[in-house]
């Protein structure tokens, strides 16, 4: 294995021999190439990328000790109100902390903040020499290990690798391949063992995304077959295509994408619901969101809207309504009850003391 002397001089722990990484490097490169070919120009690439980022964020948070349901995270990302599970305040608080950790990992991979973008740019400058010297995969593994050895966090370099692999042509879309499994407890940190483990984890993630994409594609094609209509001008198949290309979608968005009225879009969605082709994930009568059957677990995570109290108008209840005491129906209690007399304070002693003080002060003058 040949590499730049400058790069080799910075490595801590050495470089694994070619025999240690040749097989796993070949497998990982092949899987990445097959995944890129499968998803290039795929009609469902947006929803596949969304699902892949969900799983990657969940895996990265799990390595740090935060276990989160990916559908719970999906509900937060889509602006929905998820159920907070737990028997007490501590368990519910732990779930909120886990979702926050997974959401932050999702930000690093999908929509980084300004500070996160600066950290990713810094990490990219560190990775580039390794990638130029030893290729995108093996160079990325050695750069990752060196980055951790110098005391940095994992998230910036994950984001840097995703973007650098797109720039170098390994992938044509920013697929979140992070190798999170290589950071599980019990994994050897020696270069000879860890580098193959990280490359193997990257290959496993690529294979999992390929399987997920095939499942989504099969569900989409099945829905298109069942949504067919006898009319030649039916927009049912086109509507299924639009719904499948989004994680969740509203009737208004569907109507805009198909250049049709909102009423017609609602009729299509209601027909799809009756046939079991889609699910409604928001549990409400207005501003409803729909998705293909593959997103059904999201429906179970979203918290239903609280039912209104009969007779109560919209808005916050009046203070008088909240403080109103219900009438007592027990006549014996009303008969025996005698209200207390109104208390009136007695200030006679205070007034006498003040008069004495005034007399003393007047005598001193």
Assigned token pair, 182 = 């290589």
Return d(Cα 27, Cα 135) in angstroms, integer.
15
Residues 135, 208 within the same domain: yes
Residues 198, 243 within the same domain: no
Q: Tens of pLDDT along 180-222?
A: 999 998 889 888 899 999 999 999 999 999 999 999 898 888 8
The residues, ordered by sequence, that sit 6+ positions from 359 with a Cβ below 8 Å of its Cβ are none
Residues 87, 195 within the same domain: yes
- Among the listed residues 65, 56, 150, the one whose alpha carbon sits nearest the alpha carbon of residue 103: 56
Q: Tens of pLDDT along 81-102?
A: 777 777 777 778 888 888 899 9
- Domain final position from 183, 215, 247: 215
Assigned token pair, 301 = 């995570």
- Domain final position from 301, 318, 341: 301
The values of phi and psi at residue 290, to 5°, are -125, 160
In a domain, 361, yes or no: no
Count how many domains the chain has. 2
pTM: 0.74
C-alpha triplet 32, 33, 36: angle, nearest 5°: 85
Residues 259, 127 within the same domain: no
Domain of 286 in residue numbering reads as 227-301
pLDDT at 2: 43
- Interval 268-287 mean pLDDT: 82
Residues 134, 35 within the same domain: yes
In the chain, the percentage of residues whose pLDDT exceeds 90 is 34
pLDDT at 56: 94
Residues 85, 165 within the same domain: yes
The values of phi and psi at residue 306, to 5°, are -65, 135
- Interval 237-264 mean pLDDT: 88
- Domain final position from 273, 301, 329: 301
- Taking phi over 0 as left and psi of -120 to 50 as alpha, with beta for the rest, 53 belongs to alpha
| Res. 338: pLDDT tops 50 | yes
When mean pLDDT is compared across 96-110, 161-175, 225-239, 254-268, the lowest value belongs to 225-239
Residues 170, 58 within the same domain: yes
Please return the burial class of 264, using the count of CB atoms within 10 Å of its CB with bins 0-12, 13-18 and 19+.
middle
């Amino acid at each position: 294995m040949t590499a730049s002397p400058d790069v080799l001089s910075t490595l801590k722990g050495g470089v694994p021999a070619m025999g240690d990484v040749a097989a796993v490097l070949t497998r990982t490169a092949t899987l990445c190439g097959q995944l890129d070919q499968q998803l290039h120009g795929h009609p469902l690439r947006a929803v596949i990328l969304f699902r892949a980022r969900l799983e990657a964020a969940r895996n990265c948070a799990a390595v740090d000790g935060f276990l989160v349901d990916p559908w719970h995270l999906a509900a937060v990302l889509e602006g929905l109100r998820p159920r907070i599970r737990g028997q007490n305040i501590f368990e519910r608080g732990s779930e909120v902390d886990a979702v926050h950790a997974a959401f932050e990992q999702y930000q690093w991979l999908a929509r980084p903040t300004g500070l996160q973008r600066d950290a990713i740019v810094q990490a990219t400058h560190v990775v580039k020499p390794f990638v130029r010297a030893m290729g995108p995969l093996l160079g990325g593994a050695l750069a990752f290990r060196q980055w951790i050895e110098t005391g940095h966090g994992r998230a910036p370099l994950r984001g840097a690798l995703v973007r650098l692999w797109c720039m170098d042509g390994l992938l044509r879309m920013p697929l979140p391949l992070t190798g999170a499994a290589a950071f599980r407890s019990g994994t050897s940190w020696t270069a000879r063992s860890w580098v193959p483990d990280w490359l193997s984890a990257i290959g496993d993630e690529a294979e999992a995304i390929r399987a997920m994409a095939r499942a989504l594609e099969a569900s989409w094609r099945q829905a298109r077959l069942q949504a067919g209509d006898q009319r030649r001008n039916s927009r049912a198949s086109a509507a299924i295509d639009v719904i499948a290309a989004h994680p969740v979608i509203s009737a208004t968005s569907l109507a805009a994408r198909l250049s049709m009225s909102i009423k017609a879009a609602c009729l299509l969605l209601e027909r799809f619901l009756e046939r079991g082709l889609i699910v409604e994930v928001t549990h409400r009568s207005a501003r409803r969101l729909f998705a293909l059957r593959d997103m059904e677990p999201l429906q179970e995570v979203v918290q239903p809207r609280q039912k209104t109290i009969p007779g109560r108008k919209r808005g916050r209840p009046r203070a008088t309504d909240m403080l109103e005491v219900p009438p007592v129906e027990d006549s014996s209690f009303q008969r025996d009850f005698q209200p207390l007399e109104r208390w009136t304070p007695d200030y006679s002693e205070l007034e006498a003391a003040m008069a004495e003080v005034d007399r003393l002060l007047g005598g001193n003058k």
